[in-house]
Amino acid sequence: MASAKTVLNIQMAARTRVGARERNEDDLRTGTHDGIAIAVLSDGAGGHSNGAIASDLVVRFVTSALQSQPEIAPRLLHAAVHDAHDLLLQQQRDKVDRERMHATLVVLWVDAERALGLWSHVGDSRLYLLRRGRVLHVTRDDSAVQELVDAGLITPEAARHHPLKSHLVCAMGVEGAFGAHTIEKAFPLEDGDAFLLCSDGWWESVTRDDVEHTLLEAHDPEHWLAGMEAIVHRAANPDQDNHTAIAVWVGEMPTR
């Protein structure tokens, strides 16, 4: 008799805070269905309420597009992100009050039955992948400051406080050259892997060491987020941006 397939247990938690701003222009959505998990996060910008509109449109569109797919595949994820970008462009062309509306995006798509994960991002919202309690991968920001780091002109630590740190070189809904950073093939997951998706208002105060240390102390994804959020609060940034994060655990607890 053939043995039953082992379906990875996916646990998720999320939180979003307004910070010191007048409104929260971050947005997120998570969900699981038939062994498929989706986590989507966006940080909007554009003045007035346009940032909130942009992030909401991006999150809802990408989530709906992925939920309608029969399988996870890089080409489908890449197409969903690019279609969301086209949607924002069209909104700006059709509605005068939505000019200059744009957003970041980071999305994780997991097949728990096949133990595979896909992700894509645009802008400076990030995805961290941790394995055995250590950061294995971090997405590369689409920012002017990241280009300075890549050129060896400033250090990653200096980039966290650089005056151009919020200047993006690519974003959802911005005219010109556009390309989402989508993983080329599905990534094999292991029991104990963990993901953090977050906006820049979150990672600006939370270092890589903080991400690892709080994970080791956490007993579930919600506790992990609480540990990192406490670090954001201790930073006491008087101009604290909206800060949003999604934690995704593959298995009962990340492998130590």
Q: What is the CATH number of the domain that holds 231?
A: 3.60.40.10
Structure tokens at 7: 């379906």
Q: Give the pLDDT band of residue 97 (cuts 50, 70, 90).
A: low
- Please give the tally of structural domains in the chain: 1
Does the residue 238 lie in any domain?
yes
Q: Look at 2-16, 66-80, 222-236, 237-251 and tell me which has the smallest mean pLDDT.
A: 2-16
Cα(72)–Cα(138) distance, integer angstroms: 21
Does the residue 216 lie in any domain?
yes
* Residue 192, pLDDT score: 94
Does the residue 5 lie in any domain?
no
Q: What is the pTM of this model?
A: 0.94
Q: Which domain holds residue 151?
A: 10-250
Does the residue 1 lie in any domain?
no
In terms of Cα–Cα distance, which of 73, 39, 51, 17 is closest to 194? 39
* Residue 47, pLDDT score: 65
Cα(61)–Cα(42) distance, integer angstroms: 12
* Residue 163, pLDDT score: 80
pLDDT exceeds 50 at position 2: no
Does the residue 146 lie in any domain?
yes
* Residue 1, pLDDT score: 38
Cα(192)–Cα(255) distance, integer angstroms: 4
Structure tokens at 156: 């990653």
pLDDT exceeds 80 at position 78: yes
* Residue 3, pLDDT score: 43
pLDDT in tens, 12-67: 999 999 988 989 999 999 999 889 999 999 999 876 568 999 999 999 999 999 99
Cα(174)–Cα(172) distance, integer angstroms: 6
- Secondary element (H or E) of residue 190: none
The average confidence (pLDDT) of the chain is: 91
Does the residue 3 lie in any domain?
no
Does the residue 54 lie in any domain?
yes
Cα(183)–Cα(74) distance, integer angstroms: 7
Does the residue 4 lie in any domain?
no
* Residue 172, pLDDT score: 96
Between these two residues, 163 and 168, which has the higher pLDDT value? 168
Q: Would you give the end-to-end CA distance of the chain in angstroms?
A: 34
In terms of Cα–Cα distance, which of 117, 105, 138 is closest to 250? 117
